[in-house]
């Protein structure tokens, strides 16, 4: 991922709250389109311009060719607020983040995230690198907001179960692990939508903890079709189970690894 600065120049007098609202709308639109990543975007007022620091998956993520209709609408709102379309300055590549996937035609995708990840939740099935969302057709209403909201909910549940400090831990684990949980059903619906749009397999990750023993874990069948899905070698060193029929992946319980 790349760190970048967006500079919003004022071309006419404007009110601070009007400019702030227009900039926020622009940032929300870029985030919903997968062009910027994260949920904190500090903005400062300089001499006659505003500066917002953001993170984006690729160096050219903010190229106009990647703009959604909502982003273009937000740019028009900037103009109405007395601001010009933002100038982009790439500060540099984030040394702590993964690079974006470079495959032009991935053979498959994996819907996967954790509470530690700020990147795209859609991974390439060839090199397991995050795929910028604007590279696939818009999922709904011209952008990827539904997918990003699913990711936020998954990460919130993951954080609760990792912290393990409240009774909500157990409800959060059910959402992550069970095939019929509301979170999983939403994720599977999104996988189905992406599969339809891209005409590629989209595997959904089911988190796994607990279990009686390593031996019992290895005998665990696919929770959807009941078939054998244990791999000889973990896929990308992470997924011990993979069902091509149901397009599900999972891990041997973290308690027995």
| 97 pLDDT more than 90 | no
Q: What is the mean pLDDT of residues 130-137?
A: 96
Tell me which DSSP letter residue 47 carries: S
pTM of the model: 0.93
The two structure tokens encoding residue 46: 């300089």
pLDDT band of 104, cuts 50, 70, 90? confident
CB atoms within 10 A of CB 75: 19
Region 5-20 average pLDDT: 89
- Band (pLDDT 50/70/90 cuts) for residue 95 is confident
Query: 172-225, pLDDT tens digit by residue?
Result: 999 999 999 999 999 999 999 999 999 999 999 999 998 889 999 999 999 999
pLDDT at 256 over 90: no
Decide: helix, strand or coil at residue 198.
Answer: helix
Residue 257: the pLDDT is 82
Fold of 2-93: Alpha-Beta Plaits (3.30.70)
Given pLDDT bands bounded at 50, 70 and 90, which one contains residue 11?
Answer: confident
pLDDT attached to residue 14: 78
Q: Is the pLDDT of residue 76 over 90?
A: yes
| Cα–Cα dist 191/195, whole Å | 6
Average pLDDT, the chain: 94
Whole-number Å distance between alpha carbons of 202 and 104: 16
Q: Torsions phi, psi of 231, nearest 5? A: -90, 155
pLDDT higher than threshold 90 for residue 141: no
pLDDT-based confidence at residue 73 (cuts at 50, 70, 90): very high
Q: Where are the domains of the chain?
A: 2-93, 109-256
């Amino acid at each position: 991922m790349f760190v970048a600065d967006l500079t919003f120049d004022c071309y006419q007098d404007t009110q601070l709250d009007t400019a702030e609202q227009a900039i926020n709308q622009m940032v929300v639109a870029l985030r919903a389109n997968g062009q910027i990543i994260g949920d904190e975007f500090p903005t400062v007022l300089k001499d006659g311009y505003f500066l917002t620091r953001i993170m984006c998956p690729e160096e050219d993520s903010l190229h106009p060719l990647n703009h959604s209709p909502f982003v273009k609408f937000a740019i028009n709102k900037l103009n109405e607020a007395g601001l010009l379309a933002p100038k982009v300055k790439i500060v540099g590549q984030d040394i702590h983040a993964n690079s974006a996937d470079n495959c032009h035609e991935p053979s498959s995708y994996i819907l996967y995230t954790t509470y530690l990840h700020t990147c795209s939740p859609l991974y390439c099935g060839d090199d397991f690198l995050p795929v910028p969302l604007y590279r696939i057709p818009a999922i709904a209403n011209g952008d990827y907001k539904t997918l990003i909201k699913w990711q936020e909910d998954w990460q919130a549940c993951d954080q609760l179960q990792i912290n393990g400090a409240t009774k909500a831990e157990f409800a959060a684990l059910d959402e992550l692990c069970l095939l019929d949980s509301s979170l999983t059903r939403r994720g599977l619906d999104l996988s189905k939508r992406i599969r339809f749009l891209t005409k590629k397999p989209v595997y959904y990750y089911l988190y796994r903890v607990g279990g009686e023993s390593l031996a019992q874990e290895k005998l665990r069948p696919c929770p959807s079709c009941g078939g054998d899905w244990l791999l000889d070698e973990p896929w990308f060193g992470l997924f011990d189970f993979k069902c091509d029929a149901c397009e599900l992946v999972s891990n041997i319980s973290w308690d027995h690894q």
